Amino acid sequence: MLQPPYLTDDEIAVICEPLIMPAAQRRYLATLGLLVKEKPNGRALVTLSEFERVLGASRVSAAPEMGGDLTALRQRWANKNGTQTQRR
């Protein structure tokens, strides 16, 4: 079964525990930095991408370092720049 593209009411309830009023839950989610919309029934609507953007980024480790030989790259740049200055 596919997961909907937004947080379910149960997921929001777990995040906002002990708050149970929809308005209080929306305010709390907004203080976390989430972009919160209001459903017609008054409950909070938060997309999964928004939740991951705000709260998922802190859980991700630092970006892996780029592989490659930096010394060779610097040498190539130096040679390329050196040949250009010699032509002038």
Give pLDDT tens digits for 53-81.
888 754 444 555 556 677 777 787 787 76
Task: Please give, one letter per residue, the 3-state secondary structure of 23-55.
Answer: HHHHHHHHHCCCCCEECCCCCEECEHHHHHHHH
Q: pLDDT-derived band of residue 11, with 50, 70 and 90 as boundaries?
A: very high
Arithmetic mean of pLDDT over the chain: 81
Q: Which residue type is seen at 5?
A: P
Q: What is the largest CA-CA distance in the chain?
A: 74
